[in-house]
Amino acid sequence: MSRSSSAQLTAVSRAFTSRSSSAFNPEPDIARSPSSSFLSRNSPLPQDPKDRNVQWVFLGCPGVGKGTYASRLSNLLGVPHIATGDLVREELNSTGPLASQLKEIVNQGKLVSDEIIINLLSKRLEAGEAKGESGFILDGFPRTIRQAEILEGVTEIDLVVNLQLREEALLAKCLGRRICSQCGGNYNIACIDIKGDNGEPGIYMAPLPAPPQCADKLIQRADDTEEVVKARLQIYNEMSRPLEEFYRSRGKLLEFSLPGGIPESWPKLLEALNLEDHEVKRSAAA
């Protein structure tokens, strides 16, 4: 993103936050049933990775794994992974003026307002620009048509990846999430084994256990309760379709149904993106 684009985003943010804004959800569509194919038929990607920029957005409901896959692609492609959820958590842990307001919003399972997210994102892009970052993978933004329009007026988004997973798997994943209170590592104690039904394939997702040094330090996020998770998924479901259609109409939406856990899904996602991971190749050849 150019310096002028970052400055423009800041200006848009200031103008936007001067007006009242409605609360917005963390994420849209829960139970989009996975189809037998992993991705949409009409891929918006150029065939050669060298022919494309990396200014991507990851969509998907809470707990689907946007952060996991965006982070892996960030490492593979050498561009920053910017997660608005992380920006919110960083602010929560700060002594800034938004911390107490955010704490109340998150603990109630409500969505953070557009004005707060846009301000946090604007500051993050400016900081990255000062460090010489080029390109980005956005995770958790935009979540509304209004946000998408603001972002579209500032910078070009090359690709939007929409991750999908069955609702029962999503709920189990969210309730199984654990964080190490010491190092901040993310793990999952859920073992998900859903049999195929009504033409849908089965899904198996193994637990992601913590290493011994973290095993006795695991905590659960305050908002990872069944009631809060279901409410968050419902809100996301209601908001997702217009945003998906926004990017679908622009030929930028790549829909990807996760076939299982990371071992099953990562190679398939790389294939859908026309990318190669040499570590995956080496593991397969071993």
Active site residues: 66, 143, 177, 221, 232
The number of angstroms, rounded, from the C-alpha of 83 to the middle of its chain's C-alpha atoms is 7
- Cβ-proximal residues to 152 (8 Å cutoff; 6+ apart), any chain: none
Helix/strand/coil percentages in the chain, nearest 5 = 45, 15, 40
Measured at the alpha carbon of residue 232, what is the angle toward residues 113 and 31, in degrees to the nearest 5?
Answer: 130
Element housing 32 (H / E): none
Residue 59 burial (C-beta neighbours within 10 Å; 0-12, 13-18, 19+): buried
182: helix, coil or strand? Answer: coil
Other Cβ atoms within 10 Å of 165 Cβ, number: 27
Q: Which residues pair with 197 in a beta bridge?
A: 200
